[in-house]
Amino acid sequence: MADLIILVTLLALGYGFGRYSESTHYASIRKREKTLNAIPAIASRIPPQGNPNFDSQLVSGSVVISVDYFKRFIAGLRNLVGGRMTSYETLLDRARREAILRMKEEADRLGASMVFNLKLETASIHKGRRNKIGSVEVLAYGTALTPN
């Protein structure tokens, strides 16, 4: 009985805090995406030819975020049943956008006008054997082009 109460409490805490942090994170992502919209990130390998000439430099941004207790619980159940794991969708979406933003912020500091050949790497971080699921790391990197 005590176990059940602890479980429900943890689920409620996870749900409450998880939702709160997710919505604040999304709000911040949207705000920064608007301001950094001036620096396009392009996944193409061929930089623009001709004038003006550019200085190029590698820029990167990475982030590790974790899923809350509530979502982890749902994911565990979903793993038995199969199907779309909604728990991890927002996690990955947030992680990628955050990593790209951090990369763009670095490009912004360099005064770059765009980032070329953007690439993304995702890794899942395993914490011990019993709690396999948890956090992902996303790394975004590309070449910042600064007009000179």
Partner 1 sequence: MEYSNPEIPEGINTSKTNPLKELVILTVGVIGAIFAIVSLLIFVVDNFADQIPFEVEQNLPMSSFTEMQGVEPLPPYLAKISQKVINSFNLPEQMHITVHYVNDDVVNAFATLGGHIVLYRGLLEKLKYEDELSMIIAHEVSHIKHRHPILNASHGAVIGLALSFLGASSGNSVVNDLLGTTSMVTLMKYSRENEHLADKDAIDSLVKIYGSAEGAIGLFDVLNSEYSDRGEVEFFNTHPLNKNRTAEAREAINHSRIINSVVRAPIPSEFSRWLKANKIEAKETKKVRID
Partner 2 sequence: MIVSNLEILPGKKITKHLGLVQGSSVRAKHVGRDLMAGLKNIFGGELKGYTELLQESRQEAHERMLEQAKAVGANAVLNIRFSTSSIAAGAAELFAYGTAVIVE
Cis peptide before 52 (omega within 30 of 0): yes
Location of structure tokens 């749902």: 74
- Pick what 118 binds: partner 2, partner 1, none; C-beta below 5 to 8 Å, kind-dependent: partner 2
CA angle 87, 33, 84 (to 5 degrees): 20
Query: Which one among 20, 28, 48, 55 touches partner 1, defined by CB under 8 A?
Result: 48
- Pick what 52 binds: partner 2, partner 1, none; C-beta below 5 to 8 Å, kind-dependent: none
Query: 55 or 89, CB closer to partner 2?
Result: 89
Nearest to 103 by CA among 56, 137, 139, 136: 139
Pairing of strands 114-127, 54-66: unpaired
How far apart CA 131 and CA 91 sit, in angstroms, is 17
- Pick what 43 binds: partner 2, partner 1, none; C-beta below 5 to 8 Å, kind-dependent: partner 2
Contact between 33 and partner 1 by CB under 8 A: the answer reads: yes
Contact residues for partner 1, defined by CB under 8 A: 1, 3, 7, 11, 15, 33-34, 37-42, 48, 69-81, 84, 86-87, 89-90, 92-93, 114, 130-133
